[in-house]
Amino acid sequence: MAGTAYGLGVPRFSLSALGVDVPGIVAAVSGALGEHGCNLEDSTMTILQGHFAILLVITAPDGTTASDLERALEPAAHRFDLLTAVRPLADRPPGAGGDESEQPEALTIAVHGADRPGIVNAVCAALAERAGNVVDLSTQLVGPSDRPVYVLTLRAEVRPGAADEVEQAVIGRARQLGVSCTVRRDDADVL
């Protein structure tokens, strides 16, 4: 996938795939995309209770359509019994990479405690009420099956100067649910 120069205005697509976790899925999907001249820009891939989930943002050569990519993925989808979907994406939003003073603040929020319904909703609602945007989220149950602990980790972006307000709101919601919560500012110099 290297060697092709992609710039603004090239076709961009989202691709999702889901199937039972077996070795070779990533190689087959990325190989099919590479043979079609695509470049993986952003990706997340994970195992969810025995199923492998893929979500990609890709660029493709001019003239490529979602149908072209779906056809290119058919052999891999058939071989691994994958449910796939390809959708075109709009151009990048204006202002991406703009003035640093207008850049959102990045936070990492970690929540853990006894498993119960509503944890994700409560934390994300507290963010949304303050125009916070979730950019990455994962959850899992850890520990013994008779006393599982629910772990939620998310990264969020908030408007400049809102980190303290968001931190207080999220921690307050977590306390109402009886779970622990920490909020940390992500500093690019540390990352």
Same domain (yes/no): 74, 16: yes
The secondary structure of the chain in percent helix, strand, coil, rounded to multiples of 5, reads 30, 35, 35
Same domain (yes/no): 63, 133: no
Same domain (yes/no): 132, 161: yes
Same domain (yes/no): 77, 152: no
Q: What's the domain range around 82?
A: 12-89
What is the percent of the chain with per-residue pLDDT over 90, rounded to a whole number? 80
Name the one residue in this structure whose structure tokens are 């919601």: 173
d(CA 114, CA 148): 7
Name the one residue in this structure whose structure tokens are 């999907």: 29
> Residue 60 maps to which CATH number?
3.30.70.260
The predicted structure's pLDDT at residue 1: 37
In a domain, 2, yes or no: no
pLDDT in tens, 12-58: 999 999 999 999 999 999 999 999 999 999 999 999 989 999 999 99
In a domain, 190, yes or no: no
The predicted structure's pLDDT at residue 5: 41
The predicted structure's pLDDT at residue 6: 43
Same domain (yes/no): 54, 106: no
Q: Could you say which of 89, 121, 136 is where a domain stops? A: 89
Would you list the DSSP string of 56-121? EEEE--TT--HHHHHHHHHHHHHHHT-EEEEEEEPPPPTTTT--GGGSPEEEEEEEEEE--TTHHH
Share the mean pLDDT of the chain: 89
Mean pLDDT check: name the lowest of 8-12, 110-114, 181-185. Answer: 8-12
Same domain (yes/no): 122, 180: yes
In a domain, 7, yes or no: no
d(CA 161, CA 183): 15
Q: Could you say which of 25, 59, 89 is where a domain stops? A: 89
In a domain, 191, yes or no: no
Contact 107, 184 (CB under 8 A): yes
Same domain (yes/no): 79, 127: no
pLDDT in tens, 86-114: 999 987 655 454 455 578 999 999 999 99
Nearest C-alpha neighbor of 151 from the set 184, 191, 123, 125: 123
The predicted structure's pLDDT at residue 189: 56
Give how many domains the chain has, as a whole number: 2
Q: Could you say which of 89, 109, 141 is where a domain stops? A: 89
The predicted structure's pLDDT at residue 10: 87
Run of H or E residues at 177: helix 163-177
**Model pTM score:** 0.73
